[in-house]
Structure 1
Amino acid sequence: MALRLVTRRILCVGGDTSIASRSKSYWEKVKNSKAVTWSRSLLSDYKEACREMVVGIWERPIKASLYMTILGGALTCFSSKPDYSSFEAALLERANQLGLLSSWIRNATSDSHVQSLLKLRNEGRLLHVNLGLISLIYFTDHSPDTALYEAQCSSVAKLWREFPRCVMDVGFVGRWWILDSKMKNYDINEDEFLHLPVHMKVSSPPTVQVVESNEQLHKESWLPLKLDAEEK
C-alpha cells in the first residue's frame, strides 16, 4: 500500500513538471512570435513619438500652440459642417418666412433665389457634396434618376470647369452662407424706392438733438390738456 502511494506521488510530480515545462515552452513561443514582436516594436515607436512630441511642445510652445489651434479649428469645422437635410430645413424655413409676407413687401432678390432653389429641389436636380471642412449644394441639368441619353452619357456630360457656375450654396460651421446672405432684408421691397428722389433714397441716423426733441414730445403727449378760461 505504501509502495503504491509513493509511486503515485512520483508520477504526479513528474506529470506536473512536464505540464509546467510544456506551458513554459508555449509562452516562450508566443513571446517570440512575429505578431508579438511587431506589436512590441509598434508600441515602442508610439512611445518614442509621444516623447518627441512632448519635448517639441516644451521647446517650441508658440509653434505647438499654432498647430493645435489649426487642428482644433479643422476638427470644429469638420464636426459642424451642415448636411443636405439641414439645407432642406433652412430652405423650407426661408420659404415660409417669405410666404407670410405680401408680394408688395417681399424682397425680389430673396424671393427669386428661394423660388429657384425650390424649383430645382422639386425637380430632383439639387445635389450635395461633402468636401470635409465644407459642404456644397449644386444643381445638375438632369436628375440622377433620369434615363435620357444626355443624362447618362459621360461624353456629353458637363465639364468640371463649369462646376463653380452650378454651386448654389456653401455650408460652413453650421450655416448656409449664400442662402443667409440672400435673405438679408427679405421683408424690404427695394423696388418701391426706385422712383423716389435721390435725397429721399438715402437716410441718415438722427442726431442727439433730434432724438431728445422726439423724446420730449412723446412725454408731453401723455400730459393732460390745459384749457384757458376762454376755452372753458
Structure 2
Amino acid sequence: MELLPRPRAEFTPGAVHVPGWLSLDEQRSLVAACRGWRGYRQTRLPSGGLMSVRMVCLGWQWIPYRYSRTREDGSPVEPFPRWLGDLGRRAVAEAYGVGESTYGPDVALVNFYDAAAKMGMHQDKDERALDPVVSLSLGDTCVFRFGNTETRNRPYTDLELRSGDLFVFGGPSRLAYHGVLRTLPGTADPELGLTGRLNLTLRVSGL
C-alpha cells in the first residue's frame, strides 16, 4: 500500500506514466511468461561493446540497428503472442483515455536488468512505423530518464518506474531520447519472486 498515491502524469505530449497499472497477479503472469522465453543474451553493439542488459526479442529480432526474422545465430525468433498484443491495446487505451485502441504491436524487446545494468540515452527509431511504444516494468524499481527529441541532454525528467508501472510514449514524444540510469536492488515485492528488473517494450515494426 502506497503511503502517498502516485498520480498518473503526462510528462510531454504523448508521454504518459500510469503507476501501478498491472495487478500483482498480472505481474506474476508476465514474469512467468518472461521466464518461458528462451535466448536471453547481451547484445554486441557495432562499437564492439556489450549492452549490460540481457535481452530476448519476440516477433522480430532487434540487431543494432535493424530488425530480422532470425537471431544472429540463425535460429528463429520467439513468436509474438496474441495476448501480448491485447495487453498492448489495453495499455494504449488506458494511457490515452480512449475507449478502444487499434494499436497493433508485432515486436517486443524484453530486457533483464541485474543490479549493475543500465541503458544509455537513445531513441527507438529502428521501426518503420511511429506508433506508440508501450513499456511495462516488473521487479526492482529503476530510475528512468525521459528527455526530448533533439538531444540526449536537457530538458529531461527523471522518475522512478516501479513494478506494475506503465509508460507509453507516442505522438510528438515518440522519438524522445530515454534511458535507465540505474536499478534499485531489493525494491521488488517479495511476493513477485523476481530478483532484478524486467522491462517489456512493445512496438509496431512497420515491416
What's the TM-score once normalised by structure 2's chain length? 0.21
- Greater share of helix: 1
More relative contact order, 1 or 2 (CA 8 Å, 6+ apart)? 2
Structure with higher Rg: it is 1
